[in-house]
Structure 1
Amino acid sequence: MTSPDTPTPAQIRRWRGYLAAERAEARIYRDLAGRREGQERDILLALADAESRHESHWLALLGDRADPAPRPGIRTRLLGFLARRLGFLFVLALAQQAEGRSPYDDDPHATEQMAADERIHGEVLRGLAARGRTRLSGSFRAAVFGANDGLVSNLALVLGIGATGAAPQVVLFTGIAGLLAGALSMGAGEYVSVKSQRELLAASRPDPESQSALPHLDVDANELALVYRARGMTQDEAEDHAQGVLATLHLDADAPPEEVDPDEAVGSPWRAAVSSFLFFASGALIPVLPYLFGMTGFGAVALASALVGLALLGTGAVVGILSGTSPLFRALRQLAIGYGAAAATYVLGLLFGATLG
């Protein structure tokens, strides 16, 4: 291995790239910290301090070769640009992915502590993003599924009807009818789904009225211990906890399992319904656009398919980013599923068209 005292030009370039990345990531964490408060702010500033320690390591190796200040790579610059303009959760998800791609595990000039830091940073960011992902899950699920269903179902409908040889006006009005029917159905379905989830969660929460029964409980029988055993405590733990509760005559609603807030777990039913309606309608509009502007035949089919393909790639990439996984894989998977469903419907339309003809 070449001594750090006589680094090769390739090593110098690599170290300067690390230095630029560490400086940029520290700035990103400080920018994010400036938008938060309390514990989240402290955690982000601690991450920035860790990146500054890594920066010092590369400065020591580079010496005078650290000047002029290197520029970070395109991906890191893009993350910094997004950090100043996009939502907190979106940037956390992008930063989590960036930390997961650390090259320090395979670089002999990075210390084991630095490599471990980078792995742990990804978990810290995952933890910071967890609450935001939980809060977003209800509306985000409705939005993503709504848009995806609108794209795929209406493209399949338009292609299937078009393949039978129907007139362009028939295809257009079929697509509009599919848009309205699907959006209303999705909105109503999401409302019922989320409302039902909230009711199920509410049924599992402690009943405040049970407080009034505490003064009348038989201390010796200790029925209250059964409550805590049902929540997951062992018999001894439940009995000790119940004795403490009876001593204060205050029912502990925070005993395990933790109480789930429906607003965080599943979101608002109205918000989910509106999101689902709007996103389904926006997705379902895309395959109809060529027919709205008077296109017909293969040109309309090709343009509708291309537009839907781009939209599917976009929704898949967003899901991948926010879930902390590869946006490319999610985008291609979304595209394959959507095109597969549309192609199957188009083939069926061709068969029915040939039969009717």
Structure 2
Amino acid sequence: MIAPAEPTAADRRQWARYLVEERAEGAVYARLAARRKGEEREILLSLADAERRHEQHWLDLLGGEPERLPRAGLRSRMLGWMAGRFGSIFVLALAQSAEARSPYDAEQYATPAMRADEKVHHEVVRGLAARGRRRLSGSFRAAVFGANDGLVSNLALVLGIGATGAGAGFVLFSGIAGLLAGALSMGAGEFVSVRSQRELLDATAENNDADAAAADLDIDANELALVYRARGMGEEESLARAQRVVSAAQEGIRREATSPIAIQPDHDIVGGDWSVAISSFLLFASGAIVPVLPWIFGLSGGAAIVLALVLVGIALLATGAMVGILSGGPPLKRALRQLAIGFGAAAITYLLGLLFGVGAV
């Protein structure tokens, strides 16, 4: 291995930047650890310790704490601010992207161990972020879908009606009607969906009724094994289990519990029907009210349309960026995609409104 060249003033300035970045990253993990418990807390504290080791490496090269240090980068400062105020999922999703871009791959003064650490840190942070995404995925999907559906569908509605030349009062009435109709439809649809799924889970729930008759079965020739085979066990395993259950029952020993093997009624997975319906109603309504706001406050014509586009555009960019952050993808790309989809749908209805004109109203 070729020894590093004699350090220059530029090298020392770079070391100082590395130092403040490592210090900032360690502080982020320490703040996140303070908000967690158990295993996740221990993992985050270990990451903070690793960042301190890296920090010490640059301190040793610098010969101690410099009199003046540069500020940490904007990303690091933002992560530090968020770590003390928001849930860890958002911070970890951003930290995952930051860890993916290790500055040490081409840095001659970084040790091989430090380069390896950075790659490991990326995978550790990815794993922690994945845990949070799994916990959040269902509710987050419903929130984004409900709010985004309200934004896009009602924007398309009011723009389409507005393009026909209808009066401001008619556009406002249409927007409120669209809000209520869409929110009620979303709520009713989610209620029926969740209630039906819960009923399906109830219908497929396993029970131990077959075990209750185990004492009267023939230990060598009985159909109890078919129960286990129907639940997904192999033939030999099913027969062995059936013989154990029958033998225990006939000898007066407490029967072996029948463990569910296939589908089991876990209602927590699908949630409560009323809670899901109400949240869907509110989320859709929260999105659908945005494009109607200009008409609610008395605007009309082109001014109302432009303001509606601006308000909905900001909301679509925000939801798209949030999806990007949580998914580990580029927030700007996701935000622009969300904006293009929403405005594309609205543009189609607006053009149709222009085509049909006021006579269609």
Q: Identify the TM-score tier after normalising by the shorter chain.
A: 0.7 to 0.9
**Shift of residue 67, structure 1, vs aligned partner:** 4.5
1:250 corresponds to which of 244, 248, 256: 256
Larger CA deviation: 37-46 vs 200-209: 200-209
**Poorly superposed stretches of 4+, deviation over 6 Å:** 233-236, 257-260
Identify if the C-alpha distance between structure 1 residues 213 and 316 changes in structure 2 by more than 3 Å, giving closer, same or farther: farther
Identify if the C-alpha distance between structure 1 residues 345 and 10 changes in structure 2 by more than 3 Å, giving closer, same or farther: farther
Partner of 1:227: 228
Partner of 2:355: 351
State whether residues 93 and 325 of structure 2, in contact with CA within 8 Å, keep that contact through their aligned partners in structure 1: yes
Partner of 1:27: 27
Partner of 1:310: 314
2 CA distance for matches of 1:105 and 1:245?
60
Aligned partner of 1:253: which letter?
A: S
1 CA distance for matches of 2:187 and 2:355?
33
Identify if the C-alpha distance between structure 1 residues 215 and 40 changes in structure 2 by more than 3 Å, giving closer, same or farther: farther
**Shift of residue 244, structure 1, vs aligned partner:** 11
Identify if the C-alpha distance between structure 1 residues 97 and 253 changes in structure 2 by more than 3 Å, giving closer, same or farther: farther
Aligned partner of 1:61: which letter?
A: L
State whether residues 208 and 258 of structure 2, in contact with CA within 8 Å, keep that contact through their aligned partners in structure 1: no
Matched, 1:328 2:329: no
State whether residues 316 and 330 of structure 1, in contact with CA within 8 Å, keep that contact through their aligned partners in structure 2: yes
Matched, 1:272 2:289: no
Aligned partner of 1:105: which letter?
A: D
Partner of 2:302: 298
Identify if the C-alpha distance between structure 1 residues 56 and 348 changes in structure 2 by more than 3 Å, giving closer, same or farther: same
- Kindly report which structure 2 residues correspond to 1:1-357, keeping only aligned pairs within 5 A, or say none: 4=4, 6-64=6-64, 66-200=66-200, 206-207=206-207, 209=209, 212=212, 220=220, 224=225, 227=228, 231=232, 238=237, 242=241, 246=245, 249-251=255-257, 253=259, 261-263=266-268, 265-353=269-357, 356=360
Aligned partner of 1:293: which letter?
A: F
User: Structure 1 vs Structure 2: percent identity of aligned residues?
Assistant: 60
Aligned pairs, number: 353
**Shift of residue 175, structure 1, vs aligned partner:** 0.5
2 CA distance for matches of 1:195 and 1:306?
38
**Shift of residue 187, structure 1, vs aligned partner:** 1.4
**Shift of residue 27, structure 1, vs aligned partner:** 1.6
The gaps in structure 2 that reach 5 residues or longer are 249-253
The gaps in structure 1 that reach 5 residues or longer are none
Aligned partner of 2:310: which letter?
A: A
Aligned partner of 1:320: which letter?
A: G
Larger CA deviation: 62-71 vs 176-185: 62-71
Three-state SS of the structure 2 residue aligned to 1:72 is coil
Larger CA deviation: 80-89 vs 266-275: 266-275
State whether residues 253 and 259 of structure 1, in contact with CA within 8 Å, keep that contact through their aligned partners in structure 2: no
Give TM-score, length-normalised by structure 1.
Answer: 0.84
Three-state SS of the structure 2 residue aligned to 1:105 is coil
Identify if the C-alpha distance between structure 1 residues 5 and 146 changes in structure 2 by more than 3 Å, giving closer, same or farther: same
2 CA distance for matches of 1:119 and 1:326?
20
State whether residues 184 and 277 of structure 1, in contact with CA within 8 Å, keep that contact through their aligned partners in structure 2: yes
